[in-house]
């Protein structure tokens, strides 16, 4: 079935780095734009980053620009989020999500289960 | 950046009630709006895309309307499984942004 599975979360000290992965299955991963969305404990959803189906375009939230890098390996059906210079305010559940259709991002129809990132000393 | 403002932030309703949630964009976004439902400890679920199109598998009691800056999510007859938090999201331009959420609780 269509599925996204995140991994790589954990506890990291402020200023540290972490790389999240999102393994896709059940659909043609290389045809869809992909996103990372996060949710701080008890808070709402915050869009983090987007990567085009072929990796040619990337966009970031201002809050992570210059610190986070989104990438993908279409041969491995895997999405990544490299997070550097982590701050306490980056503490959140991180979800990967798939664009509903190949030609636009009018909604995210498939979400992973989320992986928790805690930034604390 | 486009700001999305939802109201109310929380509400109490009974099974069978008609529920309406509003979302306002800080600038026009045509029909580039999606609605999601999230239950505690779970990932969000897409309900509506393009402001009024029902995602496959979503019950027909959910509907969306609006364009430009003002949008509405309506649940025609609230069911027990609908108690959750609802978010709007603009898909018009990057950075994509979500509303603050509306928590629908049992009265």
Confidence label for A56 from pLDDT (cuts 50, 70 and 90): very high
Beta bridge partners of A14: none
pLDDT score recorded for residue B103: 98
CB contact under 8 A, A45 and B96: no
The rounded Cα B70 to chain-centroid distance in angstroms is 12
Q: Considering Cα of B89, then B102, then A110, then A71, what sign does the dihedral take?
A: positive
> What region, left, alpha or beta, does residue A64 occupy, with left being phi > 0 and alpha being psi -120 to 50 degrees?
alpha
Closest CA to A107 of B37, B93, B50: B50
pLDDT at A72 > cutoff 90: yes
- How far is the C-alpha of A121 from the C-alpha of B61, rounded, in Å? 47
- Residue B104 is encoded by which pair of tokens? 């629908």
Contact residues on chain B for A111, CB-CB shorter than 8 A: 43-45
pLDDT at residue B92, rounded to an integer: 96
Tell if the CB–CB gap between A45 and B50 is shorter than 8 Å. no
pLDDT tens-place string over residues B12-27: 999 999 999 999 999 9
Confidence band for B72, pLDDT divided at 50, 70 and 90: very high
pLDDT the model gives residue A103: 80
d(CA A74, CA A53): 9
Give the span between the Cα atoms of B106 and B66, in whole angstroms: 27
B35, B73 Cβ separation under 8 angstroms: yes
A24: Cα separation from own chain's centroid: 12
Mean of pLDDT values over A73-81:
98
CB neighbours of residue B48 within 10 Å: 25
Predicted confidence (pLDDT) per residue in A92-115, tens digit = 999 999 999 988 889 999 999 999
- So what's the pLDDT on residue A105? 83
Q: Which residues contact B95 (CB under 8 A, 6 or more apart)?
A: A47, A59, A60, A61, A62, B1
Q: Can you say whether residue B105 is alpha, beta or left, with left for phi > 0 and alpha for psi between -120 and 50 degrees?
A: beta
Residues of A in contact with B1 (CB under 8 A): 62
Q: What does DSSP say about strands B45-49 and B33-38: parallel, antiparallel, or unpaired? A: antiparallel
User: Over chain A, what is the mean pLDDT?
Assistant: 97
Percent of chain A whose predicted confidence (pLDDT) is above 90: 97
Look at strands A115-119 and B53-54 and give their pairing.
Answer: unpaired
Mean pLDDT computed over B89-99:
97
Residues of chain B found within 8 Å of residue A42, distances taken between Cβ atoms: none
| B44–A105 CB contact, under 8 Å | no
What is residue A118's predicted lDDT score, i.e. its pLDDT?
98
**Omega before residue B95 within 30° of 0, cis:** yes
């Amino acid at each position: 079935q269509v599925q996204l599975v995140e991994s790589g979360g954990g506890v990291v000290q402020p200023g540290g780095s972490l790389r999240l992965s999102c393994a896709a299955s059940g659909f043609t991963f290389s045809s869809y734009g992909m996103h990372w969305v996060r949710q701080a404990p008890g808070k709402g959803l915050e869009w983090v980053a987007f990567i085009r189906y072929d990796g040619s375009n990337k966009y970031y939230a201002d809050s992570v620009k210059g610190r986070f890098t989104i990438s993908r390996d279409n041969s491995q059906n895997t999405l990544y989020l490299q997070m550097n210079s982590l701050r306490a305010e980056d503490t959140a559940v991180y979800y990967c999500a798939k664009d509903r259709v190949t030609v636009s991002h009018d909604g995210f129809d498939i979400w992973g289960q989320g992986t928790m990132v805690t930034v604390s000393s | 950046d486009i700001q999305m403002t939802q109201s109310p932030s929380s509400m109490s309703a009974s099974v069978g009630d008609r529920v309406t949630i509003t979302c306002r964009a800080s600038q026009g976004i045509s029909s580039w709006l999606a609605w999601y439902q999230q239950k505690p400890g779970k990932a969000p679920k897409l309900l509506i895309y393009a402001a009024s199109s029902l995602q496959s598998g979503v019950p027909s009691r959910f509907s969306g309307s609006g364009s430009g800056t003002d949008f509405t999510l309506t649940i025609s007859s609230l069911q027990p499984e609908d108690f959750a938090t609802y978010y709007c999201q603009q898909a018009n331009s990057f950075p994509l942004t979500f509303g603050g959420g509306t928590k629908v609780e049992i009265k």
